[in-house]
Structure formats: C-alpha cells, structure tokens
Amino acid sequence: MPLPATIFKPPFSITRMSHAVFQVGDLAASRDFYLEVLGMAISDESADTIWLRGLEEGCHHSLVLKRGAPGCQRVGFRVLMEEDLDLVAAHFSAAGLPTQWVEVPYQSRTLHTVDPVGTPLEFCVSMEVRPRLFHHVERYRGASVQRADHVQVLTPGVALALQFYMGMGFRLSEYVQPDDAPDPVFVFLQRKGNPHDVVFANRGTLQLHHIAYTVPDSAALIHTAELMVRRGEGDRVEFGPARHFSPGLARFLYIRDPDGHRIELFPSHYQTMDVEDAPVRWSPEEFRIGGWQEPPQRWLDEAMSFV
Ligand SMILES: [Fe+2]
C-alpha cells in the first residue's frame, strides 16, 4: 500500500507518549534498581505501587511499578486539552474499539482503550506536578534519566498500526521497507517533534520491546553499564553502548530491569517537525541496528508481554 497521507492538522491533539505501567515481581528489588541504576525520582509510593519520574520531568510519573506478574499493563499518551480527550474517545469508538473512563491516581480524567493491534492504552490531559530536578546535580545517580521518550511495540500488524496512528495525526519520521515488500515492516511515529513517540516493528505476537529514556550525555551510557557490572548485574547489560546507524541515529544502551523489562537509554534525538520533513525510507541492507555491534539474539527474540 502507499504510505498514508500525513495529517498536519488532526481534529484532536495527542501531544506525546507519556508513561507506562509495569508489573514487577519484587517491588523492593525494582525500587532499588530504578533509583540507583536509572537514577529516577519517586513521586509517591504505597505498599503495592511506586510512581517514578525522570529528573527533567515535572509531571507526576512516567513509569508506574505495580506489584504483580511481570509485564506491561499499559502505555500512556497525553492530549492537549479536555475536549481532545473526548474526541480521542469518539475516534476509538468509531473504529469499533473499546473505551472506558477510569479514575487513575495523580492523573486527570483518564480514557482506557486498545489500539487496532491490541496495545492497551490510556490517555489523559494532565497529572499532578512535582518539582523538576535536573538542576539538582546532587540528585544525579546512575544513568540520571531525564525523561521518557518513546516505546517500541512488536506486532504482526505494522501496516494496520501505521494507518491508524497516522490517522490520528502521528507523523512518520522513518521506516524500513524491503524493495519487494508491499508495506513497511518497521515504522517510527511521532507527535512531539523528534523521531518517535511510538515505534511498531514486525513480530509474530504483540509485545512491548522497550521503553526509552533520555540521559544527560553519552558518558552516562558507559557509566550505567559499569555500574551494573559493579552491582553484579552485568548479565542485564544487554546491547551497547553503541550507535544506531539506521532509524533514529542515536547512541544507545539497552539494559534489563530485575524482571527483564527492557529499557533503552540514549542521550539525544534530532528535531523533525517542519512541513518539509518527509518520511525517511531505509532498506533492510541499510538497517544496521547496532552500527558497530550486532544485536545479541535475546535482544531480537525476547520482549515483554502485555498483562
Ligand atoms: Fe528505541
């Protein structure tokens, strides 16, 4: 199929990928990992839940850890205004997808729904605010993650996801498509003006491959890898530090949390938002995931289930 047309002025405004909700088997072990290795700040915690934010984030949380069988419960997006939330709900309903209004702690009115490939989603307008901490250098620990940037979802329905998300005003920044393939097999979609908020990659079953956080600089990638080795967690330093010599083009490190959830760390992305920013096509031959490293097999084979 031809690439869907870009909708520059969609009828509602989704602003960005905002947060994810993970279930973790050992809340204390995860608390230690996300504080000491990722360097995140705790906004609140209860007996069963920890709400975390990066040092740059003024919103209440970009990652929620809940005690439970490991996996990802949901991916969260933000919309600009209250009326956008109702329009998003109507858009999903019109597509025959389930919608439900729910109360979620620290978030404004929240919509639960599912995209056409089955990704469990939630949308809200706002959250409680907390102080941004990026200038508090005394709080920097481990990776000192700054903010959540994107998620990658694996699905057999990449073309369907591409059509649906571009229909909501997401812009295609980059994509991979073999010459003989009718559709892209890897698509990078964005709303916030850098290469991606959500990535869909071709795989047999629906899974979450990773959530990505920004770090202050490239040295943080090496420091995080070294820290995990010193902590006896070297087996969970999965891939990198290296550079994507293909979509995104960023330096990166992939690590796994105590339950195996994959987190990508990277220092920066380029800006893409102007009207002439057209989708960039890559062939599989050009698609060198790790630049100077081949990805380990488990990076290709393993991912998180939605629970
Ligand atoms: Fe990524």
Q: Do the two domains 14-124 and 143-301 of this chain adopt the same fold?
A: yes
Between 119 and 245, name the one with better pLDDT: 119
Q: Angle at the Cα of 190 (from 188 to 191), degrees rounded to 5?
A: 170
CA distances from residue 63 to 154, 162, 211, 218 in whole angstroms, order as listed? 20, 25, 10, 23
What is the CA(47)–ligand 1 centre distance, in A? 31
Cα–ligand 1 centroid distance for 211 (angstroms): 7
CA of 94 to the centre of ligand 1 (A): 31
Q: Is the peptide bond before 241 cis (omega within 30 degrees of 0)?
A: yes
> How crowded is residue 83: how many other Cβ atoms within 10 Å of its Cβ?
12
> Which residue, chain included where needed, has tokens 């909708």?
7
- Position 8 scores a pLDDT of 97
User: In this predicted model, what pLDDT tens digit does every residue of 118-136 receive, in sequence order?
Assistant: 999 999 999 999 999 999 9
**Ligand 1 centroid, distance to 247 Cα (angstroms):** 9
Nearest CA to 200 out of 191, 192, 210 is that of 210
* Gap from CA of 40 to ligand 1 centroid (Å): 19
Instruction: Give 117 Cα–ligand 1 centroid separation in angstroms.
Output: 19
Output the CA 201–ligand 1 centroid distance in Å. Answer: 11
Residues 6+ apart with CB under 8 A from 122: 74, 75, 76, 77, 102, 104, 110, 111, 112, 113
- CA triplet 135, 55, 74: central angle to 5 degrees? 165
Burial-class residue 184 by CB neighbours within 10 Å (0-12, 13-18, 19+). Answer: buried
State in Å: Cα 252 to ligand 1 middle. 8
Q: How far is CA 57 from CA 190, 192, 223, 261, in A?
A: 19, 15, 22, 21
- Name the fold adopted by 14-124: 2,3-Dihydroxybiphenyl 1,2-Dioxygenase; domain 1 (3.10.180)
Residue 241 and residue 167 in contact, taking contact as beta carbons nearer than 8 Å: no
Ligand 1: centre distance to CA 184 (Å): 17
Residue 180 burial class via C-beta count within 10 angstroms: exposed 0-12, middle 13-18, buried 19 and up? exposed
The phi-psi region of residue 71 (left if phi > 0; otherwise alpha if psi is between -120 and 50; otherwise beta) is left
> Taking 90 as the threshold, does the pLDDT of residue 89 lie above it?
yes
Distance 22 CA to ligand 1 centre (A): 17
The model's pLDDT over 262-287, given as tens digits with 9 standing for 90+, comes to: 999 999 899 999 999 999 999 877 87
**Residues 8-34 pLDDT 10s:** 999 999 999 999 999 999 999 999 999
Is the pLDDT at 290 greater than 80? The verdict is no
Superfamily of domain 143-301: 2,3-Dihydroxybiphenyl 1,2-Dioxygenase, domain 1 (3.10.180.10)
Identify the CA nearest to 176 among candidates 244, 228, 91.
244
Measure 203 CA to ligand 1 centroid, in angstroms.
16
Query: Ligand 1 centre from 104 Cα, in Å?
Result: 27
Residue 250 Cα to ligand 1 midpoint, Å, equals: 9
CA dihedral 187, 76, 10, 189 (to 10 degrees): -10
Mean pLDDT, the chain, as a whole number? 96
Per-residue tokens: 131:
């102080």
Nearest to 23 by CA among 296, 304, 301: 304
Neighbouring CB atoms inside 10 A of 265's CB total 29
Percentage of the chain surpassing pLDDT 90? 92
Rounded average pLDDT over 73-102: 98
Distance 231 CA to ligand 1 centre (A): 25
**Overall average pLDDT of the 236-265 stretch:** 94
> 288 pLDDT exceeds 80?
no
- How much distance in Å is there from the Cα of 150 to the middle of ligand 1? 7
CA of 254 to the centre of ligand 1 (A): 9
pLDDT for position 291? 80
Domain boundaries, the chain: 14-124, 143-301
Question: Cβ(246)–Cβ(201) under 8 Å?
Answer: no
- State both tokens at 206: 């629906």
Tokens describing residue 144: 């000192």
Q: Measured between alpha carbons, how far is 282 from 54 in angstroms, rounded to an integer?
A: 32
Query: 221 CA to middle of ligand 1, Å?
Result: 14
Taking the centre of ligand 1 as the mean of its atom positions, its distance from the CA of residue 237, in whole angstroms, is: 16
CA of 131 to the centre of ligand 1 (A): 27
Q: Could you tell me the distance, in angstroms and rounded to a whole number, from the CA of residue 289 to the centre of ligand 1?
A: 10
